[in-house]
Amino acid sequence: MTTQSYLDRRHDLKTYFDRTAADAWAKLTADAPVSGVRATVRAGRDRMRATLMSWLPDDLSGARLLDAGCGTGLLSVEAARRGAHVVAVDLSPTLVGIAQERMPEDVADRIEFYSGDMLDASRGRYDFCVAMDSLIHYKADDLVSALSGLAALADQKVLFTFAPRTLALSVMHSAGKLFPRSDRSPAIEPIAEAKLSGMIAKDSRLAGFAQGRSERIVNGFYTSNAMELSAS
């Protein structure tokens, strides 16, 4: 069940990624030259995407996969090339449009891009739900609620990332508050891994899923932690 705080944050994210950050995000997820800072973020995201993909079967033929917060579609394309039918959703119509424009012909019949809420249940069930860096802006309670919504759609696994609470990340978070409000991106919401793990274990909506692998990726200005939930 979505809360008002989730809906409010979703609105802020849609506005930011659809307007303020669309051009920067398009460059970050392409081969275009970027600044040194953004280059570390790009490399970190590449490593994270590779990590999440390594937790999925090499052969996804016949599987349905939800790319929850697909952005410009890089993970969707990789999953489709393994044989999955991918439903790729993002809040930003602009980013979805870029993803559709970039979609390679060899996977065009296996990816369905649309703009909307990643918790939308109207498109059926999935074998795998993957949420890469799409939950990092939500407070802990809303993050866990969103996980329960994804788990309700998943028959095998939910793979997701969260922003781990670290000293370096806290410093960057605090520094971001010095920028004018109009120039700020929506703040990430760091959470300690042990706290998040405990919240997941206690949430009855996630009782059918066991916590599995966890891996933190740190690369320059990119810090994110992957976690695996498997249907038990």
Q: What is the CATH number of the domain that holds 75?
A: 3.40.50.150
Structural domains in the chain (count): 1
**Type of residue numbered 137:** H
Tell me the percentage of the chain whose pLDDT exceeds 70. 91
Which percentage of the chain shows pLDDT scores above 90? 83
Positive/negative CA dihedral, 39, 72, 85, 147: positive
Token look-up 């969260």 returns: 162
Phi and psi at residue 49, to the nearest 5°: -60, -40
Instruction: Report in angstroms the alpha-carbon separations of 196 from 3, 124, 142.
Output: 18, 28, 11
| Each residue's pLDDT tens digit, 28-74 | 999 888 999 999 999 999 999 999 999 999 999 999 999 999 999 99
pLDDT in tens, 116-175: 999 999 999 999 999 999 999 999 999 999 999 999 999 999 999 999 997 665 555 554
* pTM (predicted TM-score): 0.92
Mean pLDDT of 99-115: 97
Nearest CA among 106, 109, 113, 147 for reference residue 130: 147
- The three-class DSSP label of residue 32 is coil
Run of H or E residues at 123? none
What CA–CA distances, in Å, run from 34 to 49, 103, 123?
A: 19, 22, 36
| pLDDT per position as a tens digit, 164-189 | 997 665 555 554 554 444 444 578 99
Predicted confidence at residue 222, as pLDDT, reads 95
pLDDT in the model for residue 170 = 59
Query: In which domain, by residue range, is 192 found?
Result: 4-231
